[in-house]
Structure 1
Amino acid sequence: MTLAEERIDRLTALAREATITGEYDRSREYVRLARRVSERNRCGLPRELKRFTCDDCDVYLRPGRNARVRLADGHVVVRCSCGATKRYPYD
């Protein structure tokens, strides 16, 4: 695991913790920083960060707190509190 991937993992954990405590602005900064590290080092984002962050407002999504998760025909629908919707198939 490269240094960039370790930093992205740590930023993901920090974003999750910030969302749990209700500090959404701090969570947004951690997510933005993780995305920037990923772009600069040409390594992909982990699946957890892709699926549990809002593409519109950059906040880390926590089901039941700031996101609604529903199951539809063969895919998962995640709606952020800002109104953005994300869909992905079952694994």
Structure 2
Amino acid sequence: MSAEIAEERIERLAALAEEAAAAGKFDRSREYVRLARRLAERNRLSLPRRFARSTCDDCDVFQRPGVNVRVRVQRGRVIRRCDCGATARYPYRE
């Protein structure tokens, strides 16, 4: 499979995961995230930053702020705490 096709599929799976999470179908969203990650690994691609930071590394669910993830901002970083208990910290610039 060429890299362009894999990138298109990853983008489509990211969109499907977001739609499923918006509809409250978190199990389906989790499957789309897992498929996208597996496809990226197989083709040695990185996930798009927006998609990678919107998913939980532990439980693979697409995160919806206020629904299944708590988002806090403090001292130059964004802290995302998932319902599964996983915490992710990302820097940001003002």
SS in 2 for 1:42: coil
**Once the 2 structures are TM-superposed, how far is the Cα of residue 17 of structure 1 from its aligned partner?**
0.5
**Once the 2 structures are TM-superposed, how far is the Cα of residue 47 of structure 1 from its aligned partner?**
0.3
Query: Equivalent residue for 2:20?
Result: 18
Separation of aligned partners in 2, 1:30 and 1:53? 11
User: Unaligned 5+ residue runs, structure 2?
Assistant: none
Runs of 4 or more, structure 1, over 2 Å off, are none
Query: Equivalent residue for 1:51?
Result: 53
Identity %: 65
2:31 to 29, 33, 38: 29
Aligned counterparts, 1:44-83, within 5 A? 44-83=46-85
Separation of aligned partners in 1, 2:29 and 2:21? 6
SS in 1 for 2:10: helix
Count of aligned residue pairs for this structure pair? 91
TM-score of the pair, normalised by structure 1? 0.96
Separation of aligned partners in 1, 2:46 and 2:57? 15
Query: Equivalent residue for 1:3?
Result: 5
Separation of aligned partners in 2, 1:48 and 1:13? 11
